[in-house]
Chain A
Amino acid sequence: MTGTALWVYLSTSPLFWLTVTLMVWIAADQLSLAANRHSLVNPVLVSIIVLAATLKVTGTDYRVYFDGAQFVHFLLGPATVALAVPLHRNRELVRKNLVPMAAALVVGSVVAIVSAVGIALVAGASRSVVVSLAPKSVTAAVAMAVSETLGGVPALTATMVIATGILGAILLTPMMDALRVRDPAARGFAAGLASHGIGTARAFSVDPVAGAFAGIAMALNALLTPVLAPLVLRLFF
């Protein structure tokens, strides 16, 4: 087998892109560790940039890549269910914070949708982009379904959702410090509501209590956004 033939074989096999995804992630995670988990060295962002550039340079189709990467992607489902365990472990604290949680959920969810739609409209985005942006704070599966029913582009929404998650993870620590919020429950709840699973992952890496509250905020917003998004869009269009 010549080098080219070997490359053609390897670069279209699921094993290759799955292995590359894990290797890039490990390197990005090491980089983040070396930077003392600084928010700006976000391992998700670094991995996506490196992998996207690799696909561009090698001329690999995203579908070929995803054939391998889907095994990692699949674990998102069981990982979402697994958020029930830290929530259960912190149930006393959750019970004590029920009222602040309910208030922050409603206000935060409305603000997440209204601000995204409003700013995108003012900045001159097209209607399909505005609709695709509306559910950006909620976990990808829900956001894509909401986007589709309202006339957005589900695949574009998935990209917006990931970008929002990374932004939330980057902004979380500096913003909460600047606002002098020390309560891990409040910090975590905001992270999960504004930036779903990626914000939740960041919250977990800082504090387990923050992670538990981020998980419940993400789940609650996933239940509320499909109800609110159509109502908000009706106000704008």
Chain B
Amino acid sequence: MIRGFAILLLCQLVGEAIARGTGLPVPGPVLGFAGLVAALAWFDRHGDVDDTILASSDLGRVSNGLLATLSLLFVPAGVGVIQHLDVIGAQGLAITLALVISTAVTLAVTVGTFVAVKRLMTRTEEPRR
């Protein structure tokens, strides 16, 4: 477990260092994620990790454990809502409308684009077969 956790922290640390060093507006964990994706792809190409090894590895188990409780990790930040009850109370309607409608529209448009483009691609591929 310690090895897997250390790999995750190391990726995050390198990500933080790059983000700070270059002044990019991207957080360290996102760069760390990109770094781990690249590292896994590199090891994969050199034949060192297959999926069964990855799943039963320390990294695989720690990642599964963290992702299984991912929503818990948002609770402490969410409780911060108690600091903004005055602003939220004063502009509650505007905030609620913006959040609800925008989230629903974004979900629909994103999934719609994904499905439409995928359908378009399979349609253009078909005549060749």
Contacts and interface: CB of A to CB of B under 8 A. Distances in A.
Contacts of B5: 78
A181 B31 CA distance: 31
Contacts of A159: 78, 80-81, 83-84, 88
B1 interface: no
Interface in A97-124: 97, 99-101, 103-104, 107-108, 111-112, 115-116, 119-120, 123-124
B91 interface: yes
Nearest to A192: B110
B9 to A, nearest CB: 6
A175 interface: yes
Contacts of B99: 116, 133, 136, 160, 163-164, 167
A73 B76 contact: yes
A82 interface: yes
A85 B44 CA distance: 12
Interface string A31-73: 0000000000001100110011001100000100110011011
A107 B115 CA distance: 13
B83 A155 contact: yes
Contacts, number: 311
A84 B91 CA distance: 38
A81 interface: yes
A137 B106 contact: yes
A219 B38 CA distance: 14
Contacts of A219: 30, 33-34
Nearest to B55: A89
Contacts of A194: 103, 106-107, 110
Contacts of B11: 81, 84
Interface in A187-225: 187, 189-191, 193-195, 197-198, 200-202, 204, 211, 215, 217, 219, 222-223
Contacts of B109: 107-108, 111
Contacts of A166: 78
Interface residues of B, number: 74
Contacts of A187: 111
B79 interface: yes
Nearest to A227: B25
B76 A72 contact: yes
Given A137-B106, A200-B70, A107 B55 contact: no
A197 B78 CA distance: 13
Contacts of B55: 89
A194 B101 CA distance: 12
Interface string B59-92: 1101110111011111111111111100110010
B100 interface: yes
Contacts of A104: 110-111, 113-114, 117
Contacts of A89: 51, 54-55
Given A78-B66, A112-B106, A129-B87, A162 B41 contact: no
Q: Most chain-A CB neighbours within 10 Å: which of B33, B59, B73, B107?
A: B107
A179 B111 CA distance: 9
Contacts of A81: 8, 11-12, 15, 29, 32-33, 36
| Top 3 A-B pairs, shortest CB-CB distance | A108-B110, A69-B76, A123-B94
Interface of B: 5, 8-9, 11-12, 15, 25-30, 32-34, 36-37, 40-41, 44, 51, 54-55, 59-60, 62-64, 66-68, 70-84, 87-88, 91, 93-95, 97-115, 117-118, 121
